[in-house]
Amino acid sequence: MSERSISNFAISAAGFSVKTLAGLLVALSLAGCSSFLNKADTDEFTEADPPDLLYNQGLAYLNAGDINNASKKFKSIDEQHPYSEYARRSMIMSAYVNFRRGRYPETINDAKRYVTLFPASEDAAYAQYLIGESHFRQIPDVTRDQQASIQAIQAMNQVIVNYPESEYASDARNKIQIASDQIAGKEMQVGRYYQERREYLAAINRFKTVVNDFQSTRHVEEALHRLTESYLALGIVQEAQTSAAVLGHNFPDSKWYQDSYRILGKGGVEPKENRDSWMSRAFRKVSGA
């Protein structure tokens, strides 16, 4: 195999540890790509094929861009040689190949199995990251159910908690923020729906979720303003004043604060924080004040 082929494979398999990739590429180059592909020109894999041969054939197929046959080779190792070291390697490779193919449920199953069986291995962090990334890539638009966002957050949190020093922890935090913003956006959409229909208590519950659980998202400013509107509509003036005051204290330059200040002024009152309000407690909890 040429040096260029090996380089291309290293790029396509980005995400694995350097140590793991080095081992894979050395094994592949020593065996010779052409001999693997010639010997493996059949879909029938016999029990006589040793695990190292099957594994290197899978790598050769992957390097050649034949993901379908690469997947078959890695799967055959798990079936024919389940207790070999190559079975462990093939398990993470199967997860990776399924991810490349966009088969996210299969990726999640393979990666979960790997993490369960080999939680301390050098590729466990990558396997856990694949679980989170597979959920993340299935997140729909904000108008639809956000279960995938919840699952992505849960899986990415496991990367941060269990593998905080891994190269995937930083991206896991970014994906958590994006998924959280998506969930908060869904809550806002439903809250506005109730508010437009003057179902203010139902609307308040949705905006309250954003303020309590998703303060780091871009939706919290609007949520506080909508609370001001909804509380005023119900005649709960003190809470309306508090939501506006909390908004002004934390986001003084926000256009939503300007809107809240204006509608309070129409009622002859100004923003005034009630420190015993749930909104004040929610922000003190996050700030540590």
Q: Which residue has the tokens 């034949």?
A: 66
Residue 176: is it exposed, middle or buried by C-beta count within 10 angstroms (0-12/13-18/19+)?
buried
Number of residues that this document lists for the chain: 289
Positive/negative CA dihedral, 192, 198, 199, 202: positive
Worst-scoring range by mean pLDDT, 22-31, 121-130, 196-205, 208-217?
A: 22-31
- What's the pLDDT band for 132 if we cut at 50, 70, 90? very high
| 81 contact partners, CB below 8 Å, separation of at least 6 | 50, 51, 54, 87
Say what the pLDDT of residue 190 is: 98
Report the predicted TM-score, pTM, of the whole model to 2 decimal places: 0.80
Please name which of 149, 269, 176, 279 lies closest in space to residue 221, comparing C-alpha atoms: 279
**Residue at 48: amino acid letter:** A
Q: Round to whole Å and give the CA distance between 91 and 111.
A: 8
- Does residue 205 register a pLDDT over 90? yes
Domains of the chain plus CATH, in order, are 1-101 (no CATH), 102-186 (1.25.40.10), 198-289 (no CATH)
Q: In this structure, what DSSP letter does residue 261 have?
A: H
- What's the pLDDT band for 284 if we cut at 50, 70, 90? confident
- Does residue 46 register a pLDDT over 60? no
Say what the pLDDT of residue 192 is: 98
Q: Round to whole Å and give the CA distance between 216 and 1.
A: 50
**Residue at 191: amino acid letter:** G
Say what the pLDDT of residue 82 is: 87
